[in-house]
Structure 1
Amino acid sequence: MKPIAIVGLDCRFPGAPDPGAYWDLLTRSADGVRQVPELRWRASDFYDRAGGEGRSNTTQGGFIDDVDAFDNEFFTVSPREAAALDPQQRLLLQTSWRALEDAGISPKQLAGSNTGVFVGIMGNEWAQVHMTDYPNVTAQVGSGNGYCMTANRVSYHLDLKGPSLAVDTACSSSLVAVHLACNALLAEECDYALAGGVNVAVTPGLSIFYTQAGLSAPDGRCKPFSADADGIGRAEGVGVVVLRRLEDAIADGQQVYAVIRGSAVNQDGRSNGITAPNRWSQQEVLAAAYRRAGVEPAEVSFMEAHGTGTALGDMIEVKALGHLHAGRTGQPLAIGSVKGNLGHAEGAAGIAGLIKVALSLHHRVVPASRFAAKENPKLQLARNGLRLLKAPLRLPAGATVAGLSSFGMGGTNVHTVLESAPGSGARTAAGRGRGAAHGGGVFTLTAPSPEALRRNLLAQAGALPRGRGPAAGLCRASNQVKTGHRYRFALPARDVRELEEGLRSAVADGELLAGLAEEPVARPRIAFLFTGQGAQFEGMTAGLYRDWPLYRRFLDEADEALAPHLGESIRDLVLGGDPRIHRTAFAQPALFAVGYAQARALDVLGVRPDVLLGHSVGEFAAAVVAGVLSLADAARLITARGALMQELPAGGGMLSARATPQELAELLAAEPLVGVAALNGPRATVLSGDLAALGRIADTLAGRGTAVRRLQVSHAFHSPLMAPMLDRFAEVARQAATGRAGVPLLSTVTGGEPATLDADYWVRHVSAPVRFAEAAERLIASGPTHLVEIGPRPVLTSLVRRLRPPAGVRSVHLTPTEESGGPELDAAVAELFRGGVDPVWEALYEGREPAPQRLSPYAFSTAHRYWSRNPVAAPGQAAPARPAVSAVAAAATADPAPAPEGSARVVDIDRSAKTPDALAHAVLGAVAGVGGYPPEEISVRSRLYQDLGFDSVMVMELKSRIEAQLPAVGELSVQELLPRLSTVGELVGHLRELAGGACGPAAVAEEQRRMTSA
């Protein structure tokens, strides 16, 4: 079969809350077995040293911590539904999310894809407890249980539309699930597959069964292939791997833990008992897996055995392995079993072994097998070509093949052949570009709440590698994975130490709020402002050209378009520090090239303008971005414009005055060779014309106390002195083709009103005043959220700020200083991301291809607990009528609080004049009751679907509660109700309308305003 890559994984096993801790436990040969936690059952009530009927012979087992914790708010699951969910579903939801993140995938990016979910599960004890508590069975209890729901729940919440199924083949369930997932990938039923298993021991039922069947170890520990082996010890756990066809993973540059070469499944058939293993079937499934993988038994370096630690099971497994491996010469097959560390995780046993093998191949070392020091001599391991791993096995360089077995109690056997991942060269060959000096990037993190963001910032800071290595790989991984949630954080960082310090200080020093933005309801609206002449300087944007290949590409493109008209390279002149940059003939095409390159690079980065505004010569690059001019036509126009102006005689100048045009009118009337060149603000007027005349005006204004400043220019731009060049420029302008603007372009010739940018317009543009302030006012009125200035240094954003735009409008510039490069670019992109812009992140790292790195997965909240504290009565005691639950779960499942004694439960709308909020409070109570939320957590802004997790079942219950409590609204129509369920406030407004109050959107808005203020 074609190879399948394991590209991501996550797990929780006894004594190991995550994959890192799991690997540490294995390498230390540690023990995850302990006393049965009080949360499950009182072990002493079922313990009998003699192993009497109905009793367990052990109080030990492998139990995971915090099995009752569930971050329901993250998955938008109401408390009431969370309390009803089988904890196995809750564990799988969180583990699946973390496994996808480990694979370098944002789970939200897979929404709507054909990703498959395959779950191995053997026990359903939560359902046994809750579905037999008949008076308290609800719709949530029904949908919260059942084998199918373990897989379906993941597919539902992650919106995955590939195959979704649960598998129960007893102890081999999760490895069979992996086998089915691989086949689905090979059949192209899905492109990604989540495969795993889960097991939670809610009751002592299986412990009692194992004891009665003579399978239970008195100390609760499996001792695989040991002389001390005396039975099974139960264990819990959950594990998920992310699978992909290897060729696809390599093409996308994904990291690979290990490769699945082949697998096979068979059945014992009729043997000496349905629970007894069958040697012949086991050796056949091994041989079938080897054939499918295309390997010989001698090629297998180590084997993760089923290894239950029962006398019969170990003996039969050794004989089956010996049938294929007894002929090995010189190097016996190394075997071990993770059950010695954890116990037998039943439905999750296979995935526990798979993750162990994958990590062993990844780290190039196989941990020693616990209890191997005293092997069972009756097994004759050496004679069968086998050896127990008494010490870690270091794997040699090159490809390494491993095997993994899992045998189900009912006779379903599965064997999987794995191989080490291909070399790093094969994984990173695709798409590698030339390097760049800049090793930084933008580290991003999103979360559904500020508290979740703080928690995850600290988790990421604590998991970063040590040292001062470049941060680009980590930043790029965060951009790919840590996206999609409501609250956004972004931090530019050059190296890992700077990143860690920034993450910690963001929380500890209160800087988080400065870098935190709640995703806006509406899409960000971006305005591009193109800087005009005067902003140029020697060597401008050299740092950006050095550090950002995307900018480099487009500046080269502009240079190629300008070169035939200039006769030399404007790029070389711009970057080389040539003082000719200040000459008009070069300044104007240079500014055009910089503006064009920045705007085009931002477009590829996903930062696209909704409105454009250029100051004087800046309009040419803006016109290309708008689609009015082609690059070729704009290059011809701008070079002709600059050259013709340069040819004009000297003697002209420009003067900036802090005065209005009206205050200058009398002076201008006396000087016909001077005119208004630019109106940059209410009291920011630029005059242009004859130098002597400007001098006389400057002296007069200075005598009045008016601030004036002479501008360093070569000519009197936008003045009557431009007249001699207009006819010749018009000839060039008439050769340019004019298109329709694809993006609104505000004109500084008309004062903001979009104009037809034909030849006549460009001729007028030369000498007409630049009515920037008027155009900027119109831009502000269009409601931009971001002002992105395009040019070598920031000039225009400060002018716009003087016009007092609304609070919250952000200003962004790629090169805020003359030395700006990659770090300043990263800071600008971080600001845009925090404001709701979703960059095309690969464009930021184009040409660098930093090595992929794995980040610490999402840190879920453990604040909310959902568990039945005493689900099983002790022997001789009556079972409780209703399981006791934690405080949160109790609030989630309880009915709304009863009304005070003597008051009516049904709200009387006719008395609403005396109690104007009666309807609103009734609706809030109904919503809280259906979802199981504390009433204080519900507000008029709460969105029933996105925030509170309502579904069709909950909507029907809400309908019934409202009808019962508010008879004045009459019978509600679901068809009318559903469109009103966006927010609680909209629902209240609709019900008020039905009850005879004001109607329409205004009523809803007023209801929200009134309730919020209350």
Structure 2
Amino acid sequence: MPSADAADTSTPQAGPRAVAVVGLDCAFPGAPDPAAFWRLLNGAEHAVGAPPPSRFRAGAKGAFLADADAFDPGFLGISTAEASAMDPQQRLLLQCAWRAVEDCGVPPSELAGSRTGTYVGAMSDDWARLALADPAAITPRTGTGSGRSMLANRLAYQFDLRGPSLTVDTACSSSLVAVHLACNALLTGECDLALACGVNVVIGTALDQIYQQAGLAAADGRCKPFAAEADGIGRGEGVGVVALRRLDEAVRHGDPVYAVIHGSAVNQDGRSNGIMAPHRAAQREVVTAARVRAGAEPGQIRYVEAHGTGTALGDLIEVLALDDALGARQGPRTVPLALGSVKAAIGHTEGASGMAGLVKAVLAVHNGAVPPGPPAGTENGQLGLHRRRMRLVDEPLKLAEQGPDCRVGVSSFGMGGTNAHLVLGPPPPLPPAESEGALGVFTLSADTPEALRSNLRVQAAAAARTGERDLAALCRTSNRVRAAQPCRFAAVAGTAGELAQALATAAETMPEPVAAAEEPTVAFAFTGQGAQYPGMTAALYESSPLYRGFLQDASAALLEWTGEPVHELILGGSERVHRTGLTQPALFAVEYALARTLTELGLRPSAVIGHSVGEFAAAVIAGGLELSDAARLVARRGALMEALPEGGGMLATRAREREARALAEAEPLCAVAAVNAPGATVLSGDRAGLARIREQLERSGFGCTELTVSHAFHSPLMEPVLAAFAEAADGVRAAPPRIPFHSTVRGGPLPEGTALDTAYWTAQIPATVRFEEAVSSLCAEPPTHIVEIGPKPVLCGLLRRINAARGVAALAPCRDVSSGIEQLAEVVARLYEDGLDPEWERLYAHADRRTVRMPSHVFATQWRSWQPASPAMGAALAGPAPLGAPPGRSPGERTGRSPGEQTSQAQKGAPSGARGTARPATANPQPATNGQGQPLAGIRTVVAEIIGGAPSDLHEESRFYDDLGFDSVMLMELKHRLEVRFPDLGELSLPEMLASLVSIGTLATYLRGLLTTPAAV
């Protein structure tokens, strides 16, 4: 039998596949986010100090999170009562995981139903142990709110993840073992994305006493790894999450990669010289196994993020094991092996310690340098680092200078003997960004106005540091990741400076954002003839590949009938665009391209309306005509009209239709051409007749304006073209529109099932354009927005004059010859702010469809709960004071806040009624009635206890499911509490109760019937 110290001869061979770290987030003492963590590690100050006042721990120093009691339940849709019962470790994980997912450029909602795995390393069960200490305080939420098993399961439930879900407890190595298991699951295809996590919150004092009695506790509460002053462990806490994906998948998807995990290994000390003592051979073997799996030579390992607890025995054995595995005897080492430990800065975070070391190592690889961290003391000479070709990192270690083959190791060793080691390397090089700097729409959202402003400030600071080549990609990232919440902001920006200024200004001056009650409904209004001009949409054609493609499609469809490419005529700035035979096809092409561009961006109209020739593009978008058929019709229409003799005219007047029509009927060659709005009527016909009509209108006080036109459109003078047009239109593949088509020929909606056939288009030529009536029918059930589809806004002004449309926002993506992608983007941005979720991807060039990291969501901290579930739990939390420490606080002093500060804030998105203090419900309330009184008040009290609110917030109309967010666990708790409060009821029948469980009022009626029904004799 080989000895325990014999060299490992059975380590697996290196595999060809690796795992990418594509996202991360963390919160450690003195460092609430990764950027702050990196600053801490590069500074001279550590995070060890006295516990916060809310921690029920008097005297025991350590490294503590400042805000472990803060949570944002409303953002995550969790009631305050449920949040109060949750282990703070669950809360920290939920928010950290959300931010880690965002960091890899994926909206968390997109993971729902996916094969995403959750692997959580944790060893603390303080919350569960103390929650179970008082049987009277136990509720159904005690089970879901505590226990290590629920840490991973809470993440999987909240995000609706369908991959493996497990909590790992191997003591101090828990979280690095969780990473190892996550990597294996990815490489074997068990999941496509994995969230590997570590969390530790110091609540009870039992472990303090264990460390002290075992001689493992540092007198000053600080770990001093590899230092002569090392005297033991200082406790710490924190949370970290890394999002992992197979490297080949990450490269194929274009995911940003922080670092690559090339290999990992886990083993056990077995029976060594004590279950708590480290084992040199086992540590050597686990490091060697991970290195071999990574395909790395010992000399490639430039730095090891050591377990480094700062205990005399632990540090010595770790150095000896690293010397065995990576030292000179394993091969030539041109430079010393560098060592460090994050515990010098944030203490021993126990179940999260491996994750803390991994996050530090990942950030070091990402930034190309290992930070020295706060000094732990003078180097322990007894370790013999110099003669072993090792050294401590006392100044930044430049990893980037070592080349792409440089590797970094991370170790974590469990108190019971389970060891883990990872080998990291830099990500594969990315091709340089091709973007020359392009415009984008930056979006940001939150669940409350206050949260939106907080996030705007953070994003403003980050935007100021963004390179111009990354601006559009940053905007695209924001569209994907930060766009789904109800309170929204959008900014169109051409430079990073403009964006930073817009964000900062909005944070301080924007009016109270109003969350949209429902998704907007958008109608398209297509402009008629007269809106054309030379060079129309040329700037948009130049700046938007999407628009450019659709305009070319329309031009190609028209080419057979126009004889020349219409888009070249438009873009060339030719005055010929005013010739009717070209005007109408040109307008059709522009409007078709604009509408298709907007629909590709997610603006799908709920209805369409077209003014005169605008009806052709409207018909195509509504599905009533094919592009080719519409192109033939509109081209023939324009050509036939242009061939008519000139000499007709058109007259705009302030008169209403009634006055104008009465005068037109006296002129056989004149007619009312259009009724656009109240006091906006257009007459058309021969010039002599129009002159006589004008004279009478002006004598009656109605202003008139002659329009510059080549022909008298929509008048009897158009009748000579009708037969020829009908013949040309014969065989059109007309169909009933698939979306509501509000006809300006009929002055109302096209009847369901009616096709836009030859007869319709022929009748349209001389018919009055009944725009006002059609808009009124469109707005009978008004859309939230009407977008004018045309080269300049003409209809927007008319819409404001029509009573039915005055409450509808009118938007125009084109204003004049200079209108480009910016004006189009402004329309999309406005609709996003009003609740639409556009399809942003098509807005960006291919080179900009990449992820640029941006600061993750800033959660609200107003809601805080650090309250024990009962006085008994409070006493247990206070616990016996650590040796030499003064007595702890009484339970009544446990929070360090006034009663007013203990009141939670109502959070947007939380179930209605989930307000009030964060105190958990009392399990055994005294009966409010002896079974003979009115049950309504008692029900309100019981429900308030369950949701953590106040009875006064609840009403008879409050619905259990829709308003109060009840689930199956809450229903069972309701049944139990009602039976306790109303003992005369006996055991309630759950099926009968469910039938009455619509609202508080209906349940009260049901219980009142039970309480007043005479007993059977």
Q: Normalised by the size of structure 1, how large is the TM-score? A: 0.89
* Correspondence for 1:488: 488
Alignment of 1:621 onto 2:648: no
Q: Conserved in 2, the CA contact under 8 Å of 1:436 and 1:546?
A: no
Shift of 1:108: 1.7
Q: Kindly indicate whether residue 839 of structure 2 is the aligned counterpart of residue 835 of structure 1.
A: no
The structural deviation recorded for 1:965 is 7.1
Counterpart residue number, 1:500: 500
Alignment of 1:436-475 (within 5 A): 439-466=438-465, 469=468, 471-475=471-475
2:728 matched to which residue of 1? 732
Residue-by-residue CA offset, 1:390-435 (whole Å, 9 max, x unaligned):
2111123541321111111111111111111111218x6xxx7xx5
How far apart are the structure 2 equivalents of 1:732 and 1:643?
11
Change in Cα spacing, 1:879 to 1:675, as seen in structure 2 (3 Å) is: closer
CA shift for structure 1 position 461: 2.6
- Which shifted more, 873-882 or 127-136? 873-882
Which moves more between the two structures, 732-741 or 237-246? 732-741
Which runs of no fewer than 5 residues in structure 1 stay unpaired? 45-58, 910-917, 997-1014
Question: Letter of the aligned partner of 1:872 in structure 2?
Answer: A
Taking the aligned partners of 1:490 and 1:252, their CA distance within structure 2 comes to: 26
Instruction: Assess if the C-alpha contact under 8 Å between 1:258 and 1:362 holds in 2.
Output: yes
Q: Compare 32-41 and 638-647 and name the one that shifted more.
A: 32-41
Structure 2 partner of 1:810: 809
2:14 corresponds to 1:14: no
Residue 131 of structure 2 corresponds to which residue in structure 1? Answer: 130
What is the 5 A alignment of 1:881-896? 887-888=902-903, 892-895=919-922
Aligned partner of residue 178 in structure 1, secondary structure: helix
8 Å CA contact 1:812–1:828 kept in 2: the answer is: yes
Q: 1:891 to 1:87 in 2, by over 3 A?
A: closer
Within-5 A mapping of 1:414-563: 414-425=420-431, 439-466=438-465, 469=468, 471-509=471-509, 511-513=510-512, 516-521=513-518, 523-563=519-559
Write the distance in 1 (CA, Å) between the matches of 2:800 and 2:926: 56
Alpha-carbon separation, structure 1, partners of 2:315 and 2:788: 72
Shift of 1:923: 5.2
- Structure-2 residue corresponding to 1:404: 410
Per the alignment, residue 971 of structure 2 pairs with: 955
Letter in 1 for 2:803: R
For 2:718 and 2:607, how far apart are their aligned partners in 1? Answer: 30
State the alpha-carbon separation in 1 of the partners of residues 988 and 794 from structure 2: 59
Q: Of 42, 66, 69, which residue of structure 2 is paired with 1:27?
A: 42
Change in 2 beyond 3 A, CA 1:149/1:964: closer
AA at the equivalent of 1:403: G
Which residue number corresponds to residue 396 of structure 2? Answer: 392
CA 1:878/1:666 → structure 2, altered by over 3 Å: closer, same or farther?
A: closer
3-state SS in 2 of match to 1:686: strand
Q: Identify the range of structure 1 (646-655 vs 960-969) with the bigger mean alpha-carbon deviation.
A: 960-969
User: 8 Å contact 1:443–1:490 — kept in the other structure?
Assistant: yes
The SS at the match of 2:409 is: strand
Distance in 2, matches of 1:266 and 1:336, equals: 22
Structure 2 residue corresponding to 1:365, chosen from 363, 366, 369: 369
For residue 971 of structure 1, report the CA deviation from its aligned partner.
9.0
For residues 366 and 346 of structure 1, the distance between their equivalents in structure 2, rounded to whole angstroms, comes to: 22
- Residue of structure 2 in register with 1:932 after alignment: 948
SS at the partner of 1:215? coil
Q: Is the 8 A contact 1:536 1:581 kept in 2?
A: yes
Separation in 1, partners of 2:806, 2:665: 40
Letter in 2 for 1:892: R
Whether contact under 8 Å (2:316, 2:383) holds in the other structure is yes
Match among 718, 722, 725 for residue 722 of structure 1: 718
Partners of 2:736 and 2:756 within 8 A in 1: no
Q: 1:95-106 to 2 correspondence within 5 Å?
A: 95-106=96-107
- Tell me, yes or no, if the aligned pair for 2:476 and 2:850 is still in contact at 8 Å: no
Corresponding position of 2:3 = none
CA offsets 1:187-221 (integer angstroms, 9 cap, x no match): 22222111110111112211211122122221222
Q: Deviation at 1:267?
A: 1.0
Provide the rounded CA distance (Å) in 2 between the counterparts of 1:169 and 1:151: 15
Aligned to 1:39: 54
What is the Cα deviation at residue 925 of structure 1?
3.9
- The two structures, once aligned, show a CA RMSD in angstroms of 3.0
With 242-251 and 804-813 compared, the bigger mean Cα shift is at 804-813
How far is 1:224 from its partner?
1.7
- C-alpha contact 2:878 2:891 (8 A) present in aligned 1: no
Q: Which amino acid aligns with 2:445?
A: T
SS at 1:321 equivalent:
helix
1:56 corresponds to? none
Deviations along 1:796-829, one digit per CA (max 9) or x if unpaired, are 2332332223675322221134422222222111
Q: Do structure 1's residue 650 and structure 2's residue 650 form an aligned pair?
A: no
Cross-structure match for 1:1004: none
Read off the aligned partner of 2:285 and give its amino acid letter.
Answer: E
1:913 is matched with which residue?
none
Deviations 1:932-987 (A, max 9, x none): 113455568877557654321212333555677799999977557668868xxx55
Rate the CA distance shift 1:133–1:784 in 2: closer, same or farther, 3 A.
same
2:42–2:374 CA contact under 8 A, matched in 1: no
Tell me the amino acid that sits aligned with residue 520 of structure 1.
A
Mapping 1:312-351, distance limit 5 Å: 312-327=313-328, 328-351=332-355
Q: Distance in 2 between matches of 1:981 and 1:8?
A: 43
- Number of matched residues? 958
**Structure 1 pair 949–993 and aligned structure 2 pair: CA distance change class (3 A):** closer
Which deviates more, 696-705 or 417-426? 417-426
State the alpha-carbon separation in 2 of the partners of residues 436 and 802 from structure 1.
44
The one-letter amino acid paired with 2:778 is L
Residue 141 of structure 1: CA displacement? 2.0
Name the structure 2 match of 1:795: 794
Q: Secondary structure at the match of 2:672?
A: strand
| Percent identical residues | 50
Counterpart amino acid of residue 18 in structure 1 = D
- Residue 313 of structure 1 deviates from its aligned partner by 1.4
What is the CA deviation profile of residues 350-404 of structure 1, one whole-angstrom value per residue up to 9, with x for unaligned ones?
0001111110011111112544763222222233332221211112354132111
Matched residue, 1:690: 686
Q: Is the 8 A contact 2:139 2:923 kept in 1?
A: no
* Change beyond 3 A, Cα 1:974–1:230: same
Task: Supply the distance in 2 between the matched residues of 1:309 and 1:968 (Cα, whole angstroms).
Answer: 63
Question: For the residues of structure 2 that align with 1:946 and 1:95, how far apart are their CA atoms?
Answer: 28
How far 1:245 sits from its partner (Å)?
1.6
The answer to whether the Cα contact below 8 Å between 1:468 and 1:497 also exists between their aligned partners in 2 is no
Does the CA-based 8 Å contact 1:131-1:142 persist in structure 2? no
1:602 maps to what in 2?
598
Q: 1:820 to 1:665 in 2, by over 3 A?
A: closer
Q: Which runs of 5+ in 2 are unaligned?
A: 1-14, 869-873, 905-916, 1010-1017
C-alpha distance in structure 1 between counterparts of 2:249 and 2:396, whole Å: 33
Measured against aligned partners, the alpha-carbon deviations of 1:431-464 in whole angstroms (never above 9, x if no partner) come to x7xx577x33222222222222233223323443
Partner of 1:201: 202
- Output the CA distance in 1 between the equivalents of 2:550 and 2:808: 28
1:187 and 2:188 matched: yes
Residue 842 of structure 1 deviates from its aligned partner by: 0.8
Q: Distance in 2 between matches of 1:898 and 1:807?
A: 56
Distance in 2 of aligned mates of 1:72 and 1:533: 55
Which residue does the alignment assign to 1:912?
none
Quote the offset at 1:577 in angstroms.
Answer: 1.7
Partner of 2:563: 567
CA gap of 1:764–1:907, structure 2 versus 1, over 3 A, is farther
Residues 227, 873 of structure 1: alpha-carbon distance in 2 compared, 3 angstrom cutoff? closer
Corresponding position of 1:266: 267
The equivalent residue for 1:776 is 775
**Counterpart secondary structure, 1:805:** helix
TM-score (norm 2): 0.89
